[in-house]
A and B are shown apart, each in its own frame.
Chain A
Amino acid sequence: MSTTLTSTFVGDQRVSVVWSNIALVALAIATLIVHSYNMFGFPLYLGDEGIYMSQAYAIAKMGQLTPYAYWYDHAPAGWILLAAWSMITGGFHTFEIAIDGGRSLMLLLHVISNVLLFRVVLRLTNNPFAAITAGLLYALSPLVIIYGRMVLLDNIMVFWALLATMLMLQNDGRLWPVFYSGVCLGLAVLTKESAILLFPAFFYAVWTQVAQHHLRFARAAWIFGTLATISLYFLYATLRKELLDLSFSSPLSGDSESVTLLGAMFWQMSRTGGAPWEPSSDFYQALTTNWLIRDPWLLGIGVTATLWNLIRGDHGRRFVALLSVCAILGVARGTEVLDFYIIPLLPFMALNAGLALADLVTLARAPALMPAFVVAAIAIGWFNLDGQREIFTLNLTTTQRQALAWVQDHVPADAQIVVDDDLWVNLRDGGPGKPDFLGTHSHWKVANDPAVYEDLFKEDWRNIDYLIMTPGLEQIFEQDEGKLTYEAYSRSTPINSFSVGDAAIEIRKVNHSGIAVNEIVRSSYASFRDRFIQDGQVRPVEGYTTAQDQATAMLMAVWMDDRDTFDDVWTWTRLNLQNDTRLLYHTNEPGVQARSATDADTDAALALLLAERRWNDASYGRAGVEMVQKIWEQSVVEINGAFYLAAGDWAVSDEQVIFAPATFAPYAYHFFAEVDPEHDWQNVLDTNYQLLADVTTDLLGERRSAGLPPAYVGINRADGALMPNPPAAPTHGNTFDETAAQVYWRVALDEQWHEEGRATSFLTASRFLRNEWEDKDELAAGYAHTGTPETKTESLVLYSAILPKFLVEEPQIAHELYATKLAAAFTRTASGNQWGSGTNIAEQRWAWLATGFYNGTLTYEWDNQ
């Protein structure tokens, strides 16, 4: 200790104590403010932060050290502390994002660390000004603030190391502080193993800072404290029989069957980053492109001060200088260096600065210099921070919050999602009112942990549903194209993204149906039923029940094995929409002329036939057969020996039959032929397939044909000629609108069920829509027969109906369409799951039919037969 300075305060002992305390409180408050302002917004959440929070979550909620197999990459004291903190602060949902909870612990540790720093300098110099200078250099350094905010093991380790330092320097001849110092250092090592590098400095301290009267005991106590604490880690590994394995290959490589502590240790030591003086090395890069730019002052003054204290120091000061040297060697020894590895250096830089400046002041015999240094420290801090204001103003983490909120609203809870760890906890455990995505997986594990990519995903990218890409993830995936993560990523479509400045997060859907889609089918059906069906009636939000609504509901109920609903809907339909001739009215709107709709009739009849198959009840079949026969009577018209399909009973007049491709249901006619052998349903199939091909390619009076089916076309009863744009049709006949598009769904179902070759040729005949999609990434809600778009709006029904066509024609496009237009539109609300706004029943029906098709739910055979 510098004797000259003490004399300044000898007469003012009480004053210096008061000053010290004031300075300390002021420093603590300053640290608190500077660290916490905008600490949840900047910097961006790092994947590592998420890893530690997820591991803390595993301890607190899953009763194990890590969510996945623990491979001893780090000793667990750091996230054990995080888990304890989370439990103290009321769980992982006290803060909006789990990482925020961890950051609040970092704040606390940071303030305490600075207090310890202050105390150390005060003890060694007896000069409160020196102490506060050191504290200010530390608190106001951008490097300290940025990296200190992040939930990193290094920050926790620094806390323990500073505590160990303080205890050692303030032992005052007492044994137990020396012991506790050893224990704290052991805890620092158990938090992050790199703390081991501080040992040489501590050996020096144990040699010089221990009092004579208990020399051996104190040293033995320190050694025991350290070794016993560290040995707990090895004890744990031994108890789990994971200490030693004969193969030293990296546990991450997937080669060795088991994880081992020593194996992990060797792997860590083998990660090189280039000699520190090489411009290409990690160290050099980090130093010149990041650290020295953000705070050259702390580093420059700190290194100079370290040398000063090494040369001129008494034992205490030299100890602190050695700590700094050890920390510097820790970073600059040619191993891999990440940006935040600077963390352990910073407090020792500040410590040494304070000590050296105090020494300088003593040497110069100018005590007034010290307050000047305080002012200088404030000025440096101000200057630094002013140039990096984004620390306080930029809210980068909003992207992550927004992405989380969107996923919670739009992605089904069963989905298997590959994420960067920062959102892991919040996805897995959504908290009150939010879903728990138990299929959330860290991309590191999906790529590297056999228990995940092999046991869980069976090495099949199709088992992954979504990916959430945070900045930098793409490069990581691209490093190894053999990994499952890359495979899934390269076969996925972005469906949404959020960005602030340069930071962007992208949500991607994997091009495959999978678990997520299955859950959408299931949950949206349940929502549809609960919201729209009452006592068997499908009640739209506005308007009246249509026959199509009822018929589709019956089909949905059969496919979803919901017999109760089926019975309710069929009963209501029978009682309210059927006329004596046993066909369905078009709608139950009072005062409207009753008309039949062939598509509704066909679907209802098929639903009854399928119901018999599914539930082995012949009464359904009988009702179905009756209906089939009536359809023949009412909607099939013979023209010159061929049987044409009319769009409804209204579509038949003396001159013409109006054909609506949307009502052509080839998938059903095969069944009709079986149950109604009297009538020639095969002819219906053949005739109308041919007709469909004709009306699609025919000009229909326009300049050209884009190969799109029209909504309605008249057939002359006399000669079978085409009569475009029949006046009796409800809309302009030649338009390809969302109604016309429904033929694609129907024909594709025929292709799927019966492998009908004509279906395939029809679906693949025109590449018009495919090209439109490729060019514009969207389709209009209606096109003229020539291919000119008639509107700028999009239609969910159109997309739904076209999806099956693309699945047959070019699956990649189908996946894109599904991902961007259907999956993205799926929303979870308080009243249920729906597409879009959820009020348009036709949209809900058709989106369901499309998703069901995509998922393979729409079958006609079940195991109970």
Chain B
Amino acid sequence: MSGFEIVLVIISLLLLLQVSHSSYLMLYTWSEAKRREQARAPQTFAPAQKSFTVLLPARNEEEVIQHTIEGVLEANYPLELMEVVVICRIDDKGTIEKVQEKIAELAPRGIQNVRLIVFQDTPINKPHGLNIGYKYTQNDVITIFDSEDQIHPDVFNVVNTVMINEGVKVVQSGVQLMNFDSNWFSALNVLEYFFWFKSRLHYHSDVGIIPLGGNTIFFTREILNIIGGWDEHCLTEDADIGIRLSIMGERIRVVYEDAYVTKEETPPSIGQFIKQRTRWNQGFLQVLGQGVYWQLPKLGQRLLAFYTLSSPILQSLNALYVPLALYTMFFTEMPPLVAMILWLPAYMLIGQYVINWVGLCDFVEAHNLKMPRLMWLRLLVSFYPFQVLLGISALRAVFRHLKKNNTWEKTKHVNAHRGSATGAKA
């Protein structure tokens, strides 16, 4: 075997390992009956006891912010146990105006617990807003929602029950993108979330190292105080805080019940998607670079953290690999054994497609949606291009990280998911 072939074989085997591990994680919840059970929400609710602080950091969200506030208030939870805080920067005139309008409208309805906090210092980013927000509030449990989130009315009951019954201090409830039919990549995006919250997160939880989500995440005030809030210089403050909590050994309960998920929308365009992904990838790289994760107690945890945080790099390799492998296979003479090894990651990608398709069937059934015709074909055709998209974002993140360009690129929201189907199978 020539040197080039040896390199290709090694890369193929590494990728095979990575994709296999990824598939294993994707199927984690379904691999054993008891795992499904562990992830579920409680069937009956405890009486409302904990008080909640809902942080709504918003920037340029004038179109949707009023719906968001209304959505929170529609929760099946005693209003006196909830305080809602919208956090804006002083120069965000549009959003501030809308919020003040909403607060004014609520007053005659007897609702006093919605407030607006405005800050004028730097950095201009979400973690800074959160830190301010949580300092100027006082309820037991702090949670965050993004402006486009459509929360389930019972989500507070679920968290309340879980925190009382199980004594956990951090709860991550499920977030699900819903608009799988909007554009060519939305189905795969939806499925990403589906597998992440329904399965992969549970694996992380069992191992003891979780990168947390940016919303529908619930912290007790005391744990936030202990941990010192969010890192204001990080692009993915949620991942960072998750790792710090894991280092402390704090048990994080993940709840995924199809019925209770917080519904979100996919980015409306490729450009937006790439921006969002770049930010996430870059954030991971930042956290990776800080090296804090190395303080995790067990080697397995450290490896998993390292592996998760370096996924941007691996994703770039993935996207580059397939055309390279195809080219070498069809245009150069290669011993059949080597060629077969090069094909193995392709097998795993096909396997991932199959997993995605089955997941989509489950998803559609769980949320009582209708499966469009020939969806399997659309999924198949968009599969590799989606990988390319992820790869581009990853590469972009690597470059930006190397050039130390850390500004936030915000994603636009258009409420594509609101007004979608109502109930979901529990």
Contacts and interface: CB of A to CB of B under 8 A. Distances in A.
Contacts of A213: 30, 33, 36
Nearest to B31: A175
Interface string B297-336: 0000000000000000000000000000000010000101
A239 B362 CA distance: 36
A256 B124 CA distance: 75
A90 to B, nearest CB: 24
A235 B30 contact: no
Interface string A163-198: 000000000011110000000000000000000000
A175 B336 contact: no
Given A217-B358, A220-B354, A236 B31 contact: no
A35 B351 CA distance: 41
B32 interface: yes
Given A213-B36, A239-B336, A239-B340, A228 B27 contact: no
Contact of A224 (B32, B336, B351): B351
A458 interface: no
Nearest to A225: B351
Contact of A235 (B340, B358, B361): B340
B340 A220 contact: no
A211 B350 CA distance: 24
A76 to B, nearest CB: 11
A232 B344 CA distance: 9
Interface string A256-292: 0000000000000000000000000000000000000
A221 B362 contact: no
Interface in B325-372: 329, 334, 336, 339-340, 343, 347, 350-351, 354-355, 357-358, 361-362
B245 to A, nearest CB: 30
A389 interface: no
A225 to B, nearest CB: 9
A175 B334 CA distance: 36
Contacts of A174: 31-33
Interface residues of B, number: 21
Nearest to A212: B33
Contacts of A176: 31
A213 B357 CA distance: 17
Interface string B254-286: 000000000000000000000000000000000
A235 B355 contact: no
A224 B356 CA distance: 13
B361 A221 contact: no
Interface string A214-234: 101110110010001000100
Given A175-B27, A217-B27, A236 B340 contact: yes
A240 interface: yes
Contact of A175 (B32, B340, B350, B362): B32
B352 to A, nearest CB: 10
B30 A217 contact: yes
Given A216-B358, A220-B355, A239 B339 contact: yes
Nearest to B361: A216
Contacts of A173: 32-33
B371 to A, nearest CB: 13
Nearest to B348: A228
Contacts of A214: 30-31, 33, 36
A228 B32 contact: no
Interface string A501-543: 0000000000000000000000000000000000000000000
A228 B31 contact: no
A240 B336 contact: yes
Nearest to A236: B336
A175 B26 CA distance: 12
B336 A228 contact: no
Contacts of A235: 340, 343
Interface in A322-375: none
A236 B341 CA distance: 11
A176 B355 CA distance: 13
B426 to A, nearest CB: 14
A776 B354 CA distance: 79
Contacts of A211: 33
Contacts of A236: 336, 340
**Residue from B334, B343, B357 whose CB has the most chain A CB atoms within 10 Å:** B343
Nearest to A211: B33
Contacts of B31: 174-176, 214
Nearest to A228: B347
A807 B32 CA distance: 83
A220 B358 contact: yes
A790 B347 CA distance: 83
Contacts of A224: 350-351, 354
Nearest to B351: A224
Contacts of B339: 239
Given A213-B36, A214-B31, A232 B354 contact: no
Contacts of B336: 236, 239-240
Interface string A468-481: 00000000000000
B362 A216 contact: yes
Contacts of B355: 217, 220
A213 B350 CA distance: 23
A262 B173 CA distance: 53
Contacts of B361: 216
A224 B30 CA distance: 16
Nearest to B362: A216
A218 B347 CA distance: 18
Contact of B350 (A221, A228, A239): A228
B316 to A, nearest CB: 26
Nearest to A178: B31
B176 to A, nearest CB: 18
A731 B422 CA distance: 124
A214 B358 CA distance: 10
Given A173-B33, A216-B362, A220-B354, 20 more contacts: A174-B33, A175-B27, A175-B30, A176-B31, A211-B33, A213-B33, A214-B30, A214-B33, A216-B358, A216-B361, A217-B27, A217-B355, A217-B358, A217-B362, A220-B355, A220-B358, A228-B347, A228-B351, A235-B340, A239-B340
Interface of B: 27, 30-33, 36, 329, 334, 336, 339-340, 343, 347, 350-351, 354-355, 357-358, 361-362
30 contacts: A173-B32, A173-B33, A174-B31, A175-B30, A211-B33, A213-B30, A213-B33, A213-B36, A214-B30, A214-B33, A216-B361, A216-B362, A217-B30, A217-B355, A217-B358, A217-B362, A218-B30, A220-B358, A221-B27, A224-B350, A224-B351, A228-B347, A228-B350, A228-B351, A232-B340, A235-B343, A239-B329, A239-B334, A239-B340, A240-B336
Interface of A: 173-176, 211, 213-214, 216-218, 220-221, 224, 228, 232, 235-236, 239-240
Across the A-B interface, the 10 shortest Cβ-Cβ residue pairs: A214-B30, A173-B33, A175-B31, A217-B30, A220-B358, A216-B358, A239-B339, A239-B336, A213-B36, A174-B32
